[in-house]
Structure 1
Amino acid sequence: MPAELALDLPAVSPLSHLFLMIALIMVACRAAGHLCRRLGQPPVIGEIMTGIALGPSLLGAVWPEGQRWLFPANLLPVINSLAQVGLVLFMFLVGYELNVAQVRSRGKVAALVSNVSVAVPMAGGILLAVAMYGRFADTGIGFPAFALFMALSMSITAFPVLARILTDRKMDRTPVGALALTCAAVDDITAWCLLALATALGHDTSLTGVAVTVALTAVFIFGMMYGLRPLLARLAERHADRLGEGITVLPLLLTGILLSSFATDWIGIHPIFGAFLFGAVVPRGAAQAAAVELMRGFTVVLLLPLFFTYSGLKTDFRLIGAEPGLWGWCAVIVAVATVTKWAGSTGAARVTGLGWQEALSLGALMNCRGLTELVVLGVGLELGIITPTVFAMLVVMTLVTTVLTAPALTLIDRIAAQRRSLPLKQGGRAVAR
C-alpha cells in the first residue's frame, strides 16, 4: 500500500531531503515542459501542471502520506524562499526584455489597444467582485482591495509566455506579433502598477497609509527612470572597456536586483516590482546581455520550477470539490476573463484599422495569462486578499486561458485560409464551365 511504502522510506537529513526535492521538481518540470512543447503548448503549461500534480490536488489526494514525505512541512519555507529568489530574478529578466523603444514607436496604436484590453476586463472583474465579495472574500479584507485584485486578475497578459508562443509560431517579427508584444509590454507595466496599488491596499487599511505607499512608489519609479537609468547608461558607456565578459557584470546586476527588491518591499509593495523596474532601466550592451544569459539559465532551469511547484502546493482543487455551485462560479470567472479580454482587444484593434484575422489573433494573444497571472495570484494569496478557494478558481482560469491561445490562433488561421481559397475555387469552376 502507498501508506506502508511511505512509512518504509528511509529517514534522511533535512539537507539531503532538500536536495532530493529540488532534483525531483527540476526533472519533473523539465519533462512536462518538453511534453507540452511537443503538443504545441508553451512549456510553462507543463511546469504549472507539474506543480499542481505534486500538490494536494493530485498526489496529496491519491497518496497523502507520500506527498507529505516528499514535501515535509519543515522544508516548505526553504522552498518558498528559493522560489521567491527565483521569482525576483525572473521578473528582472522580464523587465530587461521589455523593449521600451518598441513601446514608444507604436505608442498610439499600442496605447489604445492595451488600455482597452485592460479597462474592459477590469470592469468585468469589478462586477465579479461585487457578486463574489459577500460569499468568497475574507472578512478582514475590504471591498476596494478585493475588487481591485479581481479586476487586475482579469486584465493580465503574460508577456513572457506570449513572447515564447510568438517565437515558436514564427510570429514575433510579423506586424501582429510585434503589436501583440508591444501591447503586452504596456499591459505588464500597467499590471505591476496596479499590483503595487493592490498590495498597498492589502497592507494598509487607512487611506493615509495607502496614500503614503502610493506616493513612495511614484517617487521610486521616478528615481529609477530619470535618476538611475541615465546614471547607469553613463557608467556603462564610460567603463565599457572594463566590463569585459558577463561574469564581471553579473555581481553588479544581482546587487542591483536585490537592493531594488528590498526598496519596494520596504515601501510596502511586492519585491518583484523593484526587480522588474531595475531590469527595465539597465542599459543594454554585450557584457550586460552575457550576464543576463548566465542568470537566465540558473533561474529558468533551477529556481523558477520551485515557484511553480510551491504555487501547486498551495493550489487545492479539492476546495472547489464536487459542488456544482463552485464549479459554476469557476466557469463564470473563465468566461468573464476570456470574453472581456478577447472582445476588448479585438474591438480596439478593429478601430485602429486592423482586419478581422489580425484583430482576432491579437485578441487571442492578449488573452494569454500564464506565469504573470500566477505571480499576481501568489501575491494576493500571500497578502490574504483572496482565499485559497478563490485562488484555486483563478488558477483554473489561468490554465484555461493560456492553453486556449495556441489552438485559437490555429483555428483563426484555418478559417482565414479557407475564406481566402473560396473565391479561387469559385473562379476555377467558372473557368471550367
Structure 2
Amino acid sequence: MAAATDPLPDLLIAIPAVILLCKVGARLVRGAGQPPVVGEIAVGLLLGPSFLGWLWPGAQAWLFPPSSLPYLGLLGNLGLLIFMFLVGHEIQLGSLKAQSGTAALVSMVSVALPLGLGTLLALGMYDSFAPEDVDRLPFVLFIAVAMSITAFPVMARILADRGMYRTRVGVLALACAAFDDVTAWCLLAAVVAVSAAGSPMEAVTTALFAIGFALFMFGVLRPVLARLTARAERTSTDSLVLVLLFSGLCLSALATDLIGVHALFGAFIFGAVTPRGSRVIEFQAARLRAFSVPVLLPLFFVTTGLRADVSLLAADPVQWLWAGAVLAVAVLAKWGGGTGAARLSGQSWRDAMSIGALMNCRGLTELIVLNVGLGLGVIGQDLFTILVLMALITTAATSPALNLIRKGMPEEEPEVERRPADEAADDLRQPDVSRQSGGSPDAVGARAGGAGPAS
C-alpha cells in the first residue's frame, strides 16, 4: 500500500524525461540562433495541457501523475532560488556606476512607460480577467509590473553569443537591464506586499521589514561575507564556501518569505551582497549554476507549462484579441521606450534600436514574475497563459531583431577588461587540478558555459 502512494518512482520517470526534453529543445532553438530558454519554455508548454494534455491526455497523466506534481514544483522552486542568487550576484555594480547616467535614463523610461501603458491595459482587462476576490489595485499593479520586466540573464547570454558582451553597446545594455531588474524586483515586492496584506497597515509593516532586511544585508552581512571570503582565499576551503553560499541563499529566502515579500527576493539580495572578484566565490557560484540550470530549472519550466493552457484562449476569439493587445503594449512600451531613451541620451539610431530590442527580452525573469502572480491569486490561468505567450514571443524576437538592426555592421572591439569571474569561467571549461582546491576531486566536477546564468 505504501509503495502505491510513494511518489519516488513517478519522479524517477518525470525528472529525467523533463531534463532531456528541455535539453533537446534548447539545442534545437540554439541552432536557429535563439537563447536556450526559448526552447525550454516551449518544451514546458508542449508538455502541458496546451499540447500533450490535449493530444494524448493519458500520456500526460502517466508522465505527470498528481502525486508527483508537488515534488516537481518544490525541486523547480529550489532551482529558481539558486538562479535568483546567481542573477543578483551577476549584476555588476561597477558597470552600473560607469554607465550610470545613460543607463539610469534608459532604465527609468523603459520601466515608467510600460508601467503607465500596463496600468491602462490592466484597467481595461480587470472586468474580464481578474479573479473574483481580487481588488482592482493589486491586479492593476501586477500587470503594470509584468509589462516592465527585462530578462537580465537572457540578455547576457544573447550578448555573449554574439560577441557583444564587453562592447560599449553590450555593457550599456547590461547596465540598463541591471537597473531595470533591481527596479522591477522592488516594485514586485511592493505588489506582493499589497496583495498579501490584509490591510494598508500590514502592507506598510511588510515594506518596513523588507527595507530593514535589505539594510541589514548590505550594511552588516556584506562586510562579514567579504572578510570570510578573504579568509577562504587563504585557506582554500572551497567545499565549505559552497555549503555557506547555498545555506545563505536558503536562509535569506526564508527571511523574506517570513516577512511576506516572497522567498525569491531573499535569494536575489543574498546574491547581490555576495563578494565579487573572488576566484573561490566565482568558482563555487559556477558549480551551483552548473547543476541548477540544466537539472532543476527545467522542472520549473514544466510546472509553468502545466499551469498554462492555450485551449482556454482557443475557445474565445476575444481572448486572442486581448493577447494581441498585451503583446502590442509589451513591445511598444519596452522596445519603443528603450529606443527613445537611448536615442535621447546620444546613441545612434542603430545602437538605440539594438538597446530597445534587448530591453524587450523577457525570458525566464518574466516567467518567475508570472508564477508569483498566479501563486498569489492575482491573475487567473487564462491571463497567465496570455502573459506566458507574450514572454515567449518577445524573447524569441530578440535575436532576429538584432540580426536585422545590425546587419552588415561589424561589431566593435571589446572595451571592458576581463573580470575574475571570466577567469573562473575559463577554469571551469578547462579545470586545472593543480590550482583548484589543491587537486580536490570536488573542484573538477563542475563545468559552466559562460560568465552569466545559462538561461
User: Please, what TM-score do these two structures have when normalized by structure 2?
Assistant: 0.87
Q: How does 1:130-169 map to 2 (within 5 A)?
A: 130-169=123-162
1:257 aligns with 2:241: no
Counterparts in 2 of 1:415 and 1:135: CA distance versus 1, 3 Å:
farther
Could you tell me how far 1:235 is from its partner in structure 2? Answer: 2.7
In structure 1, what is the Cα distance between the partners aligned to 2:167 and 2:94? 17
Match of 1:64 among 52, 57, 69: 57
Match of 1:319 among 305, 312, 317: 312
Q: Any conservation in 2 of the 1:343–1:363 contact (CA below 8 Å)?
A: yes
Deviations 1:363-422 (A, max 9, x none): 0000000000000000000000111100000011101110110111111122869xxxxx
Structure 2, unaligned stretches of length 5 or more? 411-455
Could you tell me how far 1:228 is from its partner in structure 2? Answer: 1.0
Deviations 1:111-159 (A, max 9, x none): 1110111000110110011100111101211111111110111110000
Q: How does 1:374-413 map to 2 (within 5 A)?
A: 374-413=367-406
In structure 2, what is the Cα distance between the partners aligned to 1:81 and 1:144? 30
Deviations 1:288-336 (A, max 9, x none): 1111111111101110110001101111111112421100000000000
In structure 2, what is the Cα distance between the partners aligned to 1:389 and 1:272? 24
In structure 2, what is the Cα distance between the partners aligned to 1:162 and 1:258? 26
Deviations 1:323-367 (A, max 9, x none): 211000000000000011111111111111001000000000000
* Aligned twin of 2:450: none
Could you tell me how far 1:12 is from its partner in structure 2? Answer: 10
Q: Which moved more, 1:284-293 or 1:251-260?
A: 284-293
Identity of aligned residues (%): 49
Match of 2:178 among 176, 182, 185: 185
In structure 2, what is the Cα distance between the partners aligned to 1:173 and 1:313? 38
Query: What letter corresponds to residue 242 of structure 2 in structure 1?
Result: L
Q: What count of residue pairs does the alignment treat as equivalent?
A: 406
Query: What letter corresponds to residue 381 of structure 1 in structure 2?
Result: L
User: Please, what TM-score do these two structures have when normalized by structure 1?
Assistant: 0.92
Structure 1, unaligned stretches of length 5 or more? 1-10, 418-433
In structure 2, what is the Cα distance between the partners aligned to 1:415 and 1:253? 44
Q: How does 1:259-408 map to 2 (within 5 A)?
A: 259-284=251-276, 285-408=278-401
Q: Aligned Cα RMSD in Å?
A: 1.4
Could you tell me how far 1:85 is from its partner in structure 2? Answer: 0.5
Please identify which structure carries the higher helix content. Answer: 1
Q: Which has the larger radius of gyration?
A: 1
| Structure 1 moving runs of 4+ over 4 Å | none
Query: What letter corresponds to residue 263 of structure 1 in structure 2?
Result: A
Query: What letter corresponds to residue 264 of structure 2 in structure 1?
Result: I
1:96 aligns with 2:93: no
SS state at 1:378 partner: helix
* Aligned twin of 2:68: 75
Could you tell me how far 1:40 is from its partner in structure 2? Answer: 0.4
Match of 1:86 among 72, 79, 82: 79
Could you tell me how far 1:13 is from its partner in structure 2? Answer: 5.6
In structure 2, what is the Cα distance between the partners aligned to 1:139 and 1:62? 31
In structure 1, what is the Cα distance between the partners aligned to 2:160 and 2:43? 23
